[in-house]
A = this chain, B = another copy of it.
Amino acid sequence: MGEDRLLAWLREQAPELTAGIGDDTAFLPPAPEQAVTVDSQIEGVHFRSGLEPERIARRLLAVNLSDLAAVGAKPAHGFLALSTPNGFDHQRFFSAFLEGCAEHRLHLAGGDLARAPLIVATLTLIGERPEGCRWLRRDNARAGDVLWLGGTVGESALGRHLLERGNGLELPAELQAEAQQAIERHLAPRPQLELGRRLGRHERVAAVDLSDGLARDLGHLCQASGCGAVIDAEALPAAPGHEELSRHLGLDPLELQLGGGEDYVLLFTLPPDEAPPRSETTTRIGEMTTDTSLRLRHGHREGLLPDLGWDHLAS
């Protein structure tokens, strides 16, 4: 059973008990000013074995902060469950983790430490609603809204592929800097917290952060909002050198953008007459439609968006 079917089954089992399951962030009914999110980073699944403890710490933090960015929350409290094999350097991990916490004014308020045969880090974050802002929700899009992307897509996946190929890969000198950049993007994503907070000042926004890939996360947003979308292949923003690097690795640059995943930028919709918060990286990529299908436009041609992206329970 894949992730989507399992979540559907869960919601059927206990609609009241599992209200927020499958959404990345839940809002606490008795304290609606708080948003809660939880995510894990597992050795061999989310990062390769041997990754430096500092990198693991920053990635764990970034991935979770991105969930708070997607609802427009201000980070407040963190709870860390960290299980590690013998010999793990906790001090390197925590030094980097606490540095990241301080940067985002996040208080590490509790946690649990354990031994395990591999590194598993689970972070729960509690965020607050900034004064004068609304929560961003994924079910707020309407047909006719414009679809925006907070940054480039595909670069993180490229970085992951580069890391997997390792040193065996020879790159032309003119692609070295872009390759390094892609690896950095993959290892140290930058959650768009500021963009999320600014979006919270708009009257009606729908937003998600891209973790599973543009196609799949767009699907989540459309499903929640009960509408469809069409996106322009040519409008999708890419990092410099994306096409050349992809071709060099034998990968389809568009497929990486649509389904590579772990971009950790915000995908959001606004009514057509509203401009997004000013940012160098915000790009208009399509529109929301009445028809519930997800479509991809290449110039004048249009077809169904390919079913790309990450199902976390797929074998």
Chain A positions 24-58 with a Cβ under 8 Å from a chain B Cβ: 24-26, 28, 30-31, 33-34, 36-40, 42, 44-46
> Could you tell me the distance in whole angstroms from the C-beta of A97 to the nearest C-beta in chain B?
9
- Per-position contact with B for A4-15: 1 when CB-CB < 8 Å, else 0? 001101100110
CB contacts (< 8 Å) of A303 on chain B: these are none
A109 near B44: Cβ-Cβ < 8 Å: no
Size bin of chain A's contact surface: 35 or more
CB contacts (< 8 Å) of A95 on chain B: these are 13
A38 near B110: Cβ-Cβ < 8 Å: yes
Q: A246 near B: Cβ within 8 Å?
A: no
> Could you tell me the distance in whole angstroms from the C-beta of A141 to the nearest C-beta in chain B?
21
Expressed in whole angstroms, the Cα–Cα distance for A111 and B90 within the complex equals 25
> Could you tell me the distance in whole angstroms from the C-beta of A234 to the nearest C-beta in chain B?
34
Q: A279 near B: Cβ within 8 Å?
A: no
Q: A304 near B: Cβ within 8 Å?
A: no
Q: A128 near B: Cβ within 8 Å?
A: yes
A13 near B94: Cβ-Cβ < 8 Å: yes
Expressed in whole angstroms, the Cα–Cα distance for A38 and B38 within the complex equals 11
Q: A21 near B: Cβ within 8 Å?
A: yes
Given the interface pairs A26-B109, A40-B114, the reply to whether A124 lies near B79 with Cβ below 8 Å is yes
Expressed in whole angstroms, the Cα–Cα distance for A120 and B22 within the complex equals 18
> Could you tell me the distance in whole angstroms from the C-beta of A225 to the nearest C-beta in chain B?
19
A36 near B110: Cβ-Cβ < 8 Å: yes
B79 near A1: Cβ-Cβ < 8 Å: no
B39 near A81: Cβ-Cβ < 8 Å: yes
Given the interface pairs A28-B126, A77-B28, the reply to whether A107 lies near B38 with Cβ below 8 Å is no
